[in-house]
Structure 1
Amino acid sequence: MVAGSLSDAAWRARVRTAALTSDEVAVTALADRAGSRALKSQLTAADRRIAAAKGLDGEVGSLLRLRLGDASMRTALTAGTAPWVAAATSDDNATTITAYDSHGLAHTLDARKPPARPVYVVDIDGAKALVAGLNVLSKELARNGIASAAPAAQQDLADPSRATAATSGFWTTRITAVELSDDEEPWSKGDAEIYTLVTGFGRDGNVRIDPVDMPYLDNDGTVYRPNQILVNWANYKYNLADAVMMEEDGSTNYRDLAKAIATVLLAVIDQGAYIPLVNAVLEAIPDDWWTDDPDYVDSWYTLAQSDRGTRHGARGNGWMTVEPYFVQQS
Structure 2
Amino acid sequence: MQSSSELFPVALMSAELRGDLSEDIYRLKPGNSPDSTVELAVTRLGCHQCEMPRGIPVILLHGSFSNRRFWYSPKGLGLGPYLARAGFDVWIAEMRGHGLSPRNQAYRHNRVADYARYDLPAIAAFVREQSGQAPHWIGHSLGGITLAAALGGHYLDEADVASVALFGSQVSRVYWPLKLPPLEWGGRALLKRLSVISGSGLKRGPEDEPIGVALESLRWHGLFGRFGDAERDWWAGLAEVQAPVLAVAASEDHQDPPWACRKLLERFGSPRREFLCLGKKTGFADDYGHIEMLLSKPAQGEVWPLIEYWLRNAELPELKKGD
TM-score, with length taken from structure 2? 0.29
- Of structures 1 and 2, the one scoring higher in RCO (CA 8 A, sep 6+) is 1
Name whichever structure is richer in strand by fraction: 1
Q: Which of the pair has more CA radius of gyration?
A: 1
Give the TM-score, by structure 1 length: 0.29
